[in-house]
């Protein structure tokens, strides 16, 4: 899950959804989210959640908010996919 609230107050947002949430992202998830999915998809390696920028997660019942990565060149990310929105 990711939303503005996770970028502005990540730990409180996660705590408010405790029990219904395992992971969330703060900041630009366009970089961290694909790495996160690739890591979860590779069962041959132990997940290193600390290596994923912006990831919010629990380690031994304690919330961890990894440092946020904010892309300086948003043009590098391309246009958002808005195909599911109608005008």
Give per-residue pLDDT as tens, 49-72. Answer: 999 999 988 888 888 889 987 767
- HSE-CB at 8 with a 13 A cutoff on CA atoms is 3
Rounded CA gap, 22 and 41, in Å? 16
Q: Is residue 78 part of a domain?
A: no
Structure token pair of residue 6: 């996770």
Number of domains in the chain: 1
Higher pLDDT, 14 or 86: 14
Q: Which domain holds residue 30?
A: 4-70
Q: Is residue 50 part of a domain?
A: yes
pTM of the model: 0.70
Q: What is the DSSP letter of 78?
A: -
């Amino acid at each position: 899950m990711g939303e503005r609230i996770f970028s502005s107050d990540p730990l409180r947002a996660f705590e408010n959804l405790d029990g219904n949430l395992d992971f969330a992202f703060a900041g630009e998830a366009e970089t961290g989210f694909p790495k996160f999915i690739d890591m979860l998809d590779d069962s041959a390696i132990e997940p290193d959640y600390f290596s994923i920028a912006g990831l919010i997660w629990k380690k031994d019942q304690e919330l961890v908010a990894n440092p946020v990565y904010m892309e300086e060149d948003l043009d590098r990310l391309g246009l958002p996919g808005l195909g599911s929105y109608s005008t």
